[in-house]
Chain A
């Protein structure tokens, strides 16, 4: 087992453990923190795959921006730890069922289509650099890229509309 594979194994275990922490921890702040750790570890996995640019973006966008807003909202609403007993078992069962289902589907797909055999070749020259990512974003994936930005814009406008206070008729 090479150095990369050993590192990946350690990272994978840590990632799964912290991801479990997101779901299982009763305290919302700690749950959000576990999610940040998960995203950070995922970024490290990207680094192992030579995708440095994606790793940096993963941290900037998810760990650095979105999760701050999550924490901000949790703190602002002052959410308390949930009661561990109430309905916990049902959710755990349901979650396990879903996870098992997804695992089964993946295994079936691998069985019917055949698992990827052998080592994939080394990454091509310049793989994962900002230039190569930008190249494919602005040529092959230009339309989806622009559509995504429109989708985000719609989400922003929608959020502003929803958050706006209802205008009351002024009393004259």
Chain B
């Protein structure tokens, strides 16, 4: 592997990391302003550094002011806390979320000169299993934050988080199996490519056409995995202060918040890849647009790749916004409702989805 290949790999990893981080930060702002819009408030308008209209530049100001504030805040470790684990927990919460995106393709191949760059950080044969493996590790940040804080609120939040995340992980994995069966591969780039054709020449053959129920189960389980309203019982600020991260301050507290938003981005990224055609743009092929009716618009290679990446980013963003809409529309579930939904409805539904998918695949030969 030459120096250039290493550079390309590093650049891809950096780009994806930045995508997740920036998307999370932008979502934080969208959530503040969006919730204000929904509730007929003005929302965050204090970070108005240059005296300009907050809504126009509020995003920029929030992106600068919030991290500055959080980094400079005092870092409090409660008395009697397990210092090592209390320190480690925020990292364990952020790390699995950040590395999950490595297996998600954000574009097709980019050809520059002699180099063919696969627009995916890690081209894994078992991409989906890798994603499930990493997301299954996300629970440790929550559990350890809860346990190491030496606080009743945090411990309750941590225990709730562990039970909830492990329950919905199963439904999430089973919902993905339907899509895997449809496409016949665990390789996410192959799944993305398989969604490139059109039914009857007009309807893009995205995963949601094959797996509408699978998508619904995956989205619900994904929201529950990212511990967002209506599944925010581990945090539950009206009953547990802040749940598992009650005893965190400054940047560590921000790390937990960031990991929640980043998990939303990851869920949106996976849903995009499996159910919404990944980086596919309808009617866009390698050499340009082929519209139904025989109209062909030829495009240069770079423009095609740029549109693919833009398409992926926009789809992920829209799915994230949808999750925020859900968050500000529904009230929090009761704990028994959360468990009932996961085990009594989503799990059997996901199994039935698998069975029906299998029967259809066998019947179609």
Contact = CB atoms under 8 A, between A and B. Distances in A.
Interface of A: 29-30, 33, 36, 43, 52-53, 56-57, 59-60, 63-65, 68-69, 71-72, 75-76, 129-130
B222 to A, nearest CB: 16
17 contacts: A33-B144, A52-B126, A53-B129, A56-B130, A56-B132, A56-B133, A60-B133, A65-B136, A68-B139, A68-B143, A71-B140, A71-B147, A72-B143, A75-B155, A75-B159, A129-B126, A130-B126
A68 B133 contact: no
B129 A56 contact: yes
B158 interface: yes
B136 A60 contact: yes
Interface of B: 82, 85, 124-126, 129-130, 132-134, 136-137, 139-140, 143-144, 146-147, 155, 158-159, 162-163, 165-166, 169, 173, 186
Given A59-B133, A65-B136, A129 B143 contact: no
B224 to A, nearest CB: 15
Task: Please list the 4 inter-chain residue pairs (A to B) with the smallest Cβ-Cβ separation, ordered nearest first.
Answer: A64-B136, A56-B129, A59-B133, A72-B162
A72 B158 CA distance: 9
A43 B136 CA distance: 14
Contact of A63 (B136, B143, B173): B136
A89 to B, nearest CB: 27
B159 A64 contact: no
B186 A71 contact: no
A76 B159 contact: yes
A46 to B, nearest CB: 12
Looking at chain A's contact residues, the main secondary structure is helix
A20 B346 CA distance: 40
A39 to B, nearest CB: 11
B140 A36 contact: yes
Contacts of A57: 129
Given A36-B140, A72-B163, 11 more contacts: A53-B129, A56-B132, A60-B132, A63-B136, A71-B162, A72-B162, A75-B146, A75-B147, A129-B126, A130-B126, A130-B129
Nearest to B166: A68
Contact of B125 (A59, A76, A130): A130
A62 to B, nearest CB: 10
B153 to A, nearest CB: 14
Contacts of B162: 68, 71-72, 75
Contacts of A71: 140, 143, 147, 162
Contacts of A76: 159
Nearest to B170: A65
Contacts of B85: 29-30, 33
Given A60-B133, A72-B143, A53 B126 contact: yes
B150 to A, nearest CB: 12
B137 A59 contact: yes
Contacts of B137: 59, 63-64
B82 to A, nearest CB: 8
A52 B159 contact: no
Contact of B166 (A36, A69, A75): A69
Given A64-B137, A68-B162, A52 B143 contact: no
Contacts of A53: 126, 129
B124 A52 contact: yes
B143 A59 contact: no
A130 B166 contact: no
Nearest to B129: A56
A36 B144 CA distance: 13
Nearest to B186: A130
A129 B125 contact: yes
A149 to B, nearest CB: 14
A59 B158 CA distance: 21
Q: Which of A30, A33, A64, A76 has its CB near the most chain B CB atoms (within 10 A)?
A: A64
B169 A65 contact: yes
B16 to A, nearest CB: 20
Contacts of B132: 56, 60, 64
Contacts of B125: 52, 129-130
Given A53-B129, A68-B166, A59 B136 contact: yes
Contacts of A59: 133-134, 136-137
A75 B136 contact: no
A33 B144 CA distance: 10
Given A65-B136, A68-B139, A71-B143, A60 B129 contact: yes
A56 B158 contact: no
A3 to B, nearest CB: 12
